[in-house]
Structure 1
Amino acid sequence: MNFVRLIGEEYMSMNYEEAARRAKTLNPQIIEEFRANGGKVKNFPGPEFLLLHTRGARTNQPHITPVRYIKDGHAYVIVASNAGSPRNPNWYYNILAHPNEVMIEVGTEQLNVHATVAPPAERERLFAELVRQAPDFAKAQEGTSRIMPMVLLERVAEKG
C-alpha cells in the first residue's frame, strides 16, 4: 500500500515548521514504502529516494533519513534542503561529524559511502542539475537565506 500522499512540491512549499512536523510522520512511511517496493517511492516527482544512514553528531545514535538524490558519475548527490528551513537538516551535521561512517540504501543495495560537501562552483553545477530534474528544490532555495549544501556520497571499498 502506498502511504505517501504528499507530493514533493507541496512539501517544499510548506513553512519549515509544518514540513518538520509532517516529516516526522512521513519519513517512517517513506522508509516502509521504499523497503517494501525495492527502493521505489511513489507520488514524489523527480529524483528517486535513497535511505541515508548516519550516526548522530552529538548523540552517536543511528538515524535513517529518506532523501532524494541525483547521480553525478559514480557519486550519489543529495541536497541539505530541509524543506527551505533556515537551518540545515540534522543529517547534514551528522555527516560533517562522521563522513566516513555513512551508509546508504539505494534500490535493494546497501553501500558504505564517504560524504563530502561540494565546493561552491561544483555546488552550483550540481544544484542546477537537481533543479532541472526537480524544480521544487528551486522554491526551497528561494525560501531561505542560506545556501543549501550539496553533498556527494561516494562508495568506499568494503573492509575485510
Structure 2
Amino acid sequence: MSALGSLTRRLGHQKWFAATLRLLVPADRLVGRLTKGRVVAFGLVPSLVLTTTGRRSGKPRSNPLLYVPDGDAYVVIGSNWGQQHQPAWSLNLLAQPAAEVDVRGRRVPVRAEPINGPERERLFARLVDEWPAYRTYVERAGGREIRVFRVFRLVPAGEAVA
C-alpha cells in the first residue's frame, strides 16, 4: 500500500475528511466515467462505479464505491460516510437489483443480493480490513450498523464489456 493510501485510511476516521470526500464524489464520478472505471476514488482504494436505476426517476445513477472481491462477486456497503440515512444507491438496489459496475476498465452487469446474518458479519469484517473507518462510521451513525449499513454482494449477471 502506498504512503498516500495509508494516510487516506488513517484520515478516513475524521468527520471532516468524510465530509470533504462527500463533496468530491461528483469529481470522482467524472474521473471514473472518463477513465471507464480504471481510476475511481482517485486510485487510493479498490473501487468501482456502480450504476443503478433510480427508484423514482427510472434514470441511471452512478456512484463510486469501495469494494472487496468475494469470488467473482463484488461486495459493497451503504455506509453513507457514517450518516444515519441510507444512500440512495442502496435504496435503488432494493427496488431494482439489476445494475452495472465499471471496475478496472470492465463494465459488468450484476445482480445485487442484500447480505444478512453470519455472511454479513464475515463480509463486513473484510470491508473493515480494507477501510477501517467503517467502524468509526458505525459509531457516528449511532452504533446501529445492522439497520443503517446495508451490505450487498454484486454478482455478475452476464458477460463483461470492455
- The equivalent position to 1:96 in structure 2, one of 80, 86, 94, is 94
Percent sequence identity is 31
- Partner of residue 15, structure 2: 14
Shift of 1:40: 2.5
Counterpart residue type for residue 35 of structure 2? A
Task: Quote the residue 1:40 is aligned against.
Answer: 39
Q: TM-score, normalised by structure 1?
A: 0.80
CA shift at 1:31, angstroms? 2.3
Residue 120 to residue 9, structure 1, CA distance change in 2 (3 Å)? farther
Number of the residue aligned with 1:3? none
Q: Give the number of aligned pairs.
A: 147
Return the structure number with greater helix share. Answer: 2
Match of 1:62 in 2: 60
Give the Cα separation in 1 of the matches to 2:59 and 2:72: 28
Aligned pair partner of 2:78 in 69, 77, 80:
80
Opposite residue 108 of structure 2, the aligned amino acid is L
> How far apart, CA to CA, are the structure 2 residues paired with 1:53 and 1:79?
15
Contact residue 50 and residue 102 of structure 2 kept, 8 A:
yes
C-alpha contact (below 8 Å) 2:52/2:100 kept by paired residues? yes
Contact 2:74 2:155 in 1 (8 A): yes
Deviations 1:23-60 (A, max 9, x none): 2x41121123334386134363xx41100101111221
Assess, with a 3 A threshold, how the Cα gap between structure 1 residues 27 and 8 changes in structure 2: closer, same or farther.
Answer: farther
- Structure 1 gaps of 5+ residues are 1-5
Shift of 1:129: 1.1
Take 2:46 and 2:137, find their aligned partners in 1: how far apart are those partners? Answer: 18
